[in-house]
Structure 1
């Protein structure tokens, strides 16, 4: 009897230990996390189900499931899915609240869920809720950092909060003020870079790909850095070789740094397996890159984008690019057909789509200027310059075309380091375009400011940064204003 009682006691003790709420980043969870970061979502779900059977109260499961929602929504940009899934945030936080409060993952996992939904809410336009979630994440992370100062994952997310509140556009600064939050982009990036150096020799090396992702996105979208292509590609080369996120970053960084041939190479060689999350944005990127190179198969990728994408961005822009492809092929019937689709489909919310809608209602563009513009966007500067170098600006009938002529002449010279010619043509762009709604004049002032800042003539730089800010009611006004204000801040104005 005593022996039987002892066996029963041991059984229930063992059962109690295995069923106890905990946080265990075991090998199955690490494999699931890596699968998510590689965008192999079905594989990740299978691994999560395996962990649920072995350790059903492991709090890491809750965090991993949130990662799946996070990346799925980033990829699809589907507002209906967002509205359906956003309630998972409070459900998951409630599930984590009853877990092991003595684990460094206890506060961290709650902060991660808040931070991921902060990014998603900003993406879908819920800016106040986004800021509130980021603030909550920051409080949880700071508490956790005090309790566990050697817990490296804290540094990743504290850096992101720093970057978020340090890079809020001027028109949303009131949200940060209302929440009493401040940030510093440079400090946040330094934190990420320091963490990147520490991770390989730590128990948290599996976070490396996520840190690389944030470093690349911040460099391109927040810093607008020049000449960092090689640095970023070195980071990316260290990522999992079977990762779709790696391919996306290779294409994205290449496209944003005018390495157009590389963009096409990386995206064309992306894995075709259905095990990966579908990312319509990759078809859009490839279509745009193909158009810049004027490849015949451009329509294949832009059409795939508009057929597969369920979000609100770049649909009108994709149809306009299809129209321009056929215009360059001298297929005027298809050109007009796609202009009708620009007018009737998609949303005019993003600046690119607003511009696409306006262009669809304007006179047909000058072919030489259109080619120069596309070549320029792809980084083919000699081809772009050759397209307009012998063109007589007085032969252009539309004021818009004359502005574009001076603007792209300036931009091309800027890129090939002919500062005098660049400034001269930027100034002509400003003179002709400052009263229009086109962004060319304001951006020209911003670019002149950059040139003078680079040669340390801060007085002239400030004049042109302020001139960019003073121009109103033009395309990309928020972006240009923010970049000009950042320039003034850099030079101490």
Structure 2
């Protein structure tokens, strides 16, 4: 993000003061009498948006009053979902223009809880769109204004629960950002509490309103991703998919969660049972996820086909390097001709952003030209897939010697620890994680992710065992490692774990 794009006529202090939200002196009288956000027709359209059936949502909205806040909100949700899933830069300018037009229409409507909520939601969509499509400063500025609108509206209408969903998302997202972004947050006057964000999201998830399901999903994903509580999230998504088997979003979430929990067979079953057809928004990223799942199973041809389909259909720039890296891996692991392997390797280096950690890892592999070990690579994907006994058998075939490269020495210990953890052999996992950390220290802490991740896992194990002091030490150790492949996500998880302690 470029600080130089800020107006040179204003000092940072003036910018900070200008961005502080002005709260009303008193809540608006009768604020508890606020009705629902959506009309019955708009509610049906919103349900179609959640199913990723965007054309059907548009047809339903055509029968609704065009200037009603609920109509404007659902229409914006539909455009925003289509833009985010397609990642098509060609849609960006039109989406921003449509958002500006909707915001202008809302300015003509008297202030109310529904009007103010709709206004904040559309601004939030716009800010996220700007951040994703490389208008970082504009997006950050817009986000600051959005937070101000949400804070003011939540103060003015304290019983209007939908506001708590959006405010909670912003508070948690801003409060959990890695240290590297704190300078920008300070400039923009953004300072949010993770704890307040969770409280607001919990309130929104447990009270009935038009967006309760969305609130439940967001809260469950946060608990699964950052607090290592996957069971409730998986159960919720499976329940939602059972209730709505025609909902592609719910199927997507079941696939994604099972993949992250190393339940490859369940994830692939959900992928093959997902609803399909022209009524649904194309979700190219599903093929990229399926390619990973098939790679874990050792179905290299299937994985190659899915990633090729992903690259053909996807309109965005992210994950392309990662897909090329996976294509290289399946060609190499399956013994394809050297020319094919090299073609996929060169594809990693094609132009593309280096923002997501997966793409950064792939590009680093290309530039460093480090040779991968076939046995350890197979074990890695077997472990990622949850095939722990198979991975353990594969690791037993690896015999290190005095000439074994540093990276492979560390990887062996780390992979074995992951397998022990997957097999619920906690003591063995802890021992190999400790060995990983100690070997990395003896080697001068080389810039690989094995030791930082080992420290993070040691923190989780200590936390689960009620050893708070040890957990704190390990989480701080995970944060202390210098730049490595997964530093942003590792630091974010360690930071939130420390707050939870």
Per the shorter chain, which TM-score range?
A: 0.7 to 0.9
Match of 2:229 among 225, 229, 242: 225
1:109 aligns to what? 118
Deviations 1:158-191 (A, max 9, x none): 2222222322222112333334343333443343
Asked whether the 8 Å contact 1:37–1:245 carries over to 2, the reply is: yes
| Aligned counterpart, 1:32 | 45
CA 461–156 in structure 1, closer or farther in 2 if over 3 Å, else same = closer
Shift of 1:396: 6.9
Find the counterpart in structure 2 of residue 208 from structure 1: 212
The offset of 1:388, in angstroms, is 0.5
Give the match's secondary structure for 1:304: helix
Choose which of 475, 484, 487 in structure 2 pairs with 1:474: 484
Shift of 1:364: 4.0
How many equivalent pairs are there?
A: 461
Change (3 A) 1:432 1:307: farther
What value does the CA root-mean-square deviation take over the aligned residues? 2.7
**Counterpart in 1 of 2:446?**
436
1:14 aligns to what?
none
Q: Distance in 2 between matches of 1:224 and 1:420?
A: 19
Three-state SS of the structure 2 residue aligned to 1:50 is: coil
Change beyond 3 A, Cα 1:24–1:345: closer
CA-to-aligned-CA distance 1:394-424 (integer Å, 9 cap, x gap): 2874332222111101121223333332233
1:167–1:222 Cα contact (<8 Å) kept: no
Q: Give the equivalent residue in structure 2 for 1:335.
A: 341
| Contact kept? 1:23, 1:59, Cα under 8 Å | no
Partners of 2:417 and 2:102 lie apart in 1 by 53
1:259 aligns to what?
Answer: 263
In the TM superposition, what are the counterparts of 1:31-430 in structure 2 within 5 Å?
31-51=44-64, 55-101=65-111, 103-199=112-208, 204=209, 206-233=210-237, 236-237=240-241, 240-295=244-299, 296-333=301-338, 334-344=340-350, 346-360=352-366, 362-394=369-401, 397-430=404-437
Give me the whole-angstrom Cα distance separating, in 1, the residues matched to 2:236 and 2:61.
31
* Alpha-carbon shift at residue 95 of structure 1 (Å): 1.1
Deviates most, 125-134 or 272-281: 125-134
CA-CA distance at 1:297 after TM superposition: 1.4
Aligned CA distance change for structure 1 residues 257 and 42 (closer, same or farther; 3 Å): same
Give, in whole Å, the separation in 1 of the partners of 2:322 and 2:344: 11
Which residue, out of 467, 470, 492, partners 1:457? 467
User: Is the contact between residue 372 and residue 387 of structure 1 (CA under 8 Å) also seen in structure 2?
Assistant: yes
Equivalent-residue separation in structure 1 for 2:371 and 2:141 (angstroms) = 46
- Paired residue secondary structure (2:63): helix
Cα distance, 1:250 vs structure 2 = 0.9
Shift of 1:226: 4.8
Q: Aligned partners of 2:47 and 2:233: how far apart in 1?
A: 25
Q: After superposition, give the CA deviation of every residue in 1:242-288 in whole Å (9 maximum; x if it has no partner).
A: 21111111111111111111111111222221111111111111111
Consecutive unaligned residues of structure 1, counting only runs of 5 or more, are 1-21
Does structure 2 retain, via aligned residues, the 8 Å contact 1:37–1:209? no
DSSP-derived class of the 2:207 partner: helix
Q: Distance in 2 between matches of 1:224 and 1:81?
A: 36
The aligned residue for residue 484 of structure 1 is: 494
Alpha-carbon separation, structure 2, partners of 1:403 and 1:230: 32
Provide the rounded CA distance (Å) in 1 between the counterparts of 2:486 and 2:134.
Answer: 17
For 1:227 and 1:153, locate their aligned partners in 2 and report how far apart those are by CA, in whole Å: 26
Q: Which structure is larger by alpha-carbon Rg, 1 or 2?
A: 1
Q: Secondary structure at the match of 1:394?
A: coil
Question: Which residue does 1:19 correspond to in 2?
Answer: none
Q: Which has the higher contact order (CA 8 A, sep 6+)?
A: 2
- Secondary structure of 2:446's partner? coil
